[in-house]
Amino acid sequence: MCGIVGLLVKKPGLRASLGALMVPMLTGMTERGPDSAGLAVYTTPVADRFAKLSLYSGQHAVEWSALLGRISEAFAGEHEIATHGNQAVLTTSADPDAVVGWLKSHVAALAVLSVGQSIDLYKDVGAPADIARRYEFEALAGSHLVAHTRMATESAVTPAHAHPFTAGRDFCLVHNGSLSNPHLVRKHLEPLGIEFETDNDTEAACRFFEWRLREGDDLRQAVARGFRELDGFYTFLMGTQNEMLIVRDAFACKPAVVAETDDYVAIASEFRSLAHLPDIGHATLFEPKPEEIYSWQI
Partner 1 sequence: MANMNSAAERPATERPAAERSSPVERQGAQPREFDLSRDALRQLNLFLHKDAVRDGVGQVRVHNPDGAHSIACGLNAELDVQIHGHVGYYVAGMNQHASVTVHGNAGPGAAENMMSGRVHVKGFASTAAGASAHGGLLIIDGDASLRCGISLKGADIVVGGSVGSFSAFMAQAGRMVVCGDAEDALGDSLYEAVIYVRGKVRSLGADARYEPMTDADRAALKGLLTAAGRVEDPADFKRVASAKSLYHWHADADQEY
3-class secondary structure, 139: helix
Strands 264-268 and 2-9: antiparallel
By the rule CB under 8 A, 273 interacts with partner 1: yes
292 forms part of the interface with partner 1 (CB under 8 A): no
Amino acid at 230: L
3-class SS of residue 164:
coil
Q: How far is the CB of 275 from partner 1 (least distance, A)?
A: 4
Q: Does 283 help bind partner 1 (rule: CB under 8 A)? A: no
Question: Do residues 99 and 75 make contact, with C-beta atoms less than 8 angstroms apart?
Answer: yes
Does 26 contact partner 1 by CB under 8 A? Answer: no
Instruction: Phi first, then psi: give them for residue 86, nearest 5 degrees.
Output: -90, 15
In the complex with partner 1, the residue whose CB is nearer, 167 or 259, is: 259
Nearer to partner 1, 279 or 286 (CB): 286
Find the shortest distance in angstroms from Cβ 251 to partner 1: 7
**How many residues line the site for partner 1 (CB under 8 A)?**
16
Residue 274 in the binding site for partner 1 (CB under 8 A): yes
Return the SS3 of 67: helix
Query: Which parts of 219-258 interact with partner 1 (CB under 8 A)?
Result: 250-252, 255
Q: Could you tell me the smallest distance in angstroms from the CB atom of residue 29 to partner 1? A: 11
CA distance linking residue 292 with residue 26, whole number of Å: 24
| CA max distance for the chain | 55
Phi, psi of 197 (to 5 degrees): -105, -20
Closest CA to 210 of 82, 276, 291, 115: 115
Which of 141, 194, 275, 298 binds partner 1 (CB under 8 A)? It is 275
To the query of whether residue 253 is one of the catalytic residues in this protein, the response is no
In the list 102, 271, 295, 298, the residue contacting partner 1 (rule: CB under 8 A) is: 271
Residue ranges that bind partner 1, judged by CB under 8 A: 250-252, 255, 270-276, 285-287, 289-290
Residues designated catalytic: 2
